[in-house]
Amino acid sequence: MYDRIKGFRDFYPGEMAARRATIDTLEDTARGYGFREIGTPALERAEMWTDKSGDDIVDELYAFEDQGGRHVTLTPELTPTVARMVVAKQQELSKPIKWFSTRPFWRYEQVQQGRQREFYQTNVDIFGSSEPEADAEILAWAADAMTNLGLTGEHFEFRISHRDILGGVLESYDADVDTEDAIRAVDKSDKLSTVEYHDLLIGAGLTADQAVEFDDLIAGGDLEEVREFANTERVDAAVDNLQNVLAAAEDFGAREFCTISLETARGLDYYTGVVFECFDSAGEVSRSIFGGGRYDDLIESFGGQPTPAVGVAPGHATLPLLLQRAGVWPAEEVTTDYYVLQIGDTRTEAARIARDLRERGHVVETDVAGRSFGSQLNYADSINAETVVIAGEQDLANDEVTIKDMASGDQLQVPVESFPGEHERPTLGDFE
């Protein structure tokens, strides 16, 4: 026996059916907004990460040297890959570029609830628009995807902020503040004690009094108070932009799910504007469900023309936790429309019935293991077959088949030439 590798998961048919239903909902919602699906490679050059984050990041990657001597890694996230793709065909692509994909990623990190070493995300991005409507459309897609999954505003909220508000307030202090370190401290604040949080702010360059003042100001979430406190063009522009995004989100139907939360920072350095995270409203899922935001400088940093961008990436490890808590996780079971049961030498007719039903778009199974009548019926029950069509030698000798409704146990003999006949989804009731 071989053990499964830690941090990697198996998905048996029942759980995979629930996952597939969830993914289909997210992707169908994206298609409704005009996002186009892309496919991306599992392997990229490791320099796409080490050039920007330093060689130490290799410890967090599944990186190795391939047989051609290239330093490569299994991709830990999608954003650098799509940036590379945009740069490669930037002049050919119609703007705005609206892409989505669902795929696995790999990071070597501590395994915990909602975090695996192989994980799946649905990424949804818009490239080529700096307008507030682009940010609002990402929020609207996320809100529609969540409600299409069966959630309501009682189950989730989007905590929304703006990186330039945080950065501008920090710069307004008469101190040598490492802004990125301070923003990372804000991003961690909900996991730290007040003392630990303030110590990180002090380590980033604020005085003890300034750390307290900054904490109180940001926690208050009053945009006009923040504007007045900082009194800088950067903060003015950021507050205006955030308010404009929220106004557009109102028109797009997503504002009711948005809460201003200036403590939402998103720790990644490439975020440049509006950022947001989705949380369980009841607080039972201990970490954010997913997050997103604006990253206007990334395409240029990969050698492309300046291209604004905004996106979001729901993860398929944390999202099920919320759906399960809310009681809307799809049923973990396989379903089958028809099972065509064979008794004796009836394969030809049974196969014809199965083909006819499949041509109508139904899920159909039939015997491929030479089993007895009882074994086939038990199998049909195990795969949740709705209807069993019994093609027995005696039935066919009388030009009939037997239809059995598995829920009620009722059954009826019908002319074989009438099944499925003109019926799109024939059931016992059609022949009674």
Binding-site positions for L-histidine read 77-79, 107, 121, 125, 266, 270-271
Ranges of H-type helices in 327-404: 347-359, 373-382, 393-397
The string over 181-219, giving b where at least 16 C-beta atoms fall within 10 Å of a residue's C-beta and e elsewhere, is: ebbbbbbebeeeeeeebbebbeebbbeeebbeebbebbe
C-alpha closest to that of 314 among 128, 148, 86: 148
d(CA 7, CA 108): 9
Do residues 175 and 206 make contact, with C-beta atoms less than 8 angstroms apart? yes
Which residues does 408 contact at the CB level (< 8 Å), separation at least 6? 428
Do residues 10 and 47 make contact, with C-beta atoms less than 8 angstroms apart? no
Do residues 429 and 412 make contact, with C-beta atoms less than 8 angstroms apart? no
Within 13 Å and on the Cβ side, how many CA atoms surround 165? 31
Which residues does 404 contact at the CB level (< 8 Å), separation at least 6? 387, 388, 389, 390, 410, 411, 428
Q: What are the phi and psi torsion angles at 197 (to 5°)?
A: -65, -50
DSSP 177-200: --HHHHHHHHHHGGGS-HHHHHHH
Do residues 276 and 159 make contact, with C-beta atoms less than 8 angstroms apart? yes
Do residues 9 and 128 make contact, with C-beta atoms less than 8 angstroms apart? no
Partnered with residue 162 across adjacent β-strands are: 274
Binding residues: 77-79, 107, 121, 125, 266, 270-271
Do residues 294 and 132 make contact, with C-beta atoms less than 8 angstroms apart? no
Q: What length does the chain have?
A: 432
Other C-beta atoms lying within 10 Å of the C-beta of residue 369: 7
Q: Provide the pairing of β-strand 258-260 with 118-127.
A: unpaired
